[in-house]
Every structure is written in structure tokens, then in C-alpha cells.
Structure 1
């Protein structure tokens, strides 16, 4: 599924949506629909217009998708 191995994702920290979409080849609207339905992890609001996702959550998601 992912071209980039899990070892390239930091152990801790945050990823923004463009970084996630490089790892998981889907569109933005598909990602947000998955977040809303609970298929993908919820983001963390860092500001009024800034959302990021925990690296741990994305690593877990990618390993479960493979």
C-alpha cells in the first residue's frame, strides 16, 4: 500500500494531511469521510485552521491496512 516504509515515519510527533496522503494514496475528501465514519483516526486541532494526526495513529493505521 505505502511506497514509503513505516521506518520513515517518526515514532512520535504529528503529521499534516499532505504528508499522510503521500503515504496513503487516497484523496482529501476520501480521507475526511473516513475520519468522519471512524475508519481513520481523528486529528488533533493545533489551531483554528490547523489539524494534524499523531504519528503513532498513522503508523498503526498503515500497519493495519497492509
Structure 2
């Protein structure tokens, strides 16, 4: 089963976080890392975002 890839607008809408907050939390290890999908584009695995939504305070330990 392949994991759906979400682009930034979908991640912002799904999580309710701003773009700036997403990248800040990624830098701190508190949000799932994006994956490079082309030279100029990144996406997030939906399963990672779903796990983060279930328990955002425990993400650091899961990563």
C-alpha cells in the first residue's frame, strides 16, 4: 500500500498550523519531516501527518 503525499497547502489545512509554524516545528523535531519529490517540491506522508495529529506532543519521541 502506497502512502499518499500531501503538499503544503493540504498540510496547513489539515493541521491548522501556518507554513512558518510547520517549518519551525520541523527544525525542532516536533513535526514530521517533508520528503523531496522533485528539484523544487516537497511533500509530507499522510501517515506521518495523521500520527502527528493523533498525538502532537509525543511526536519528538516517535521521530
TM-score by length of 1: 0.75
Unpaired segments of 5 or more residues in structure 1? 1-10
Deviation at 1:49, TM superposition (A): 1.2
Asked if 1:59 is matched to 2:50, the reply is yes
In 2, the alpha carbon distance for the partners of 1:55 and 1:39 equals 16
| Residue equivalent to 1:25 | 16
| Structure 2 segments unaligned to the other structure (5+ residues) | 57-63
State the superposition RMSD in angstroms.
Answer: 1.4
**Inter-partner Cα distance in structure 2 for 1:26 and 1:59:** 14
1:40-55 pair list within 5 angstroms: 40-55=31-46
* Misfit runs of 4+, over 4 Å: none
How far the C-alpha of 1:12 sits from its partner, in A, is 2.2
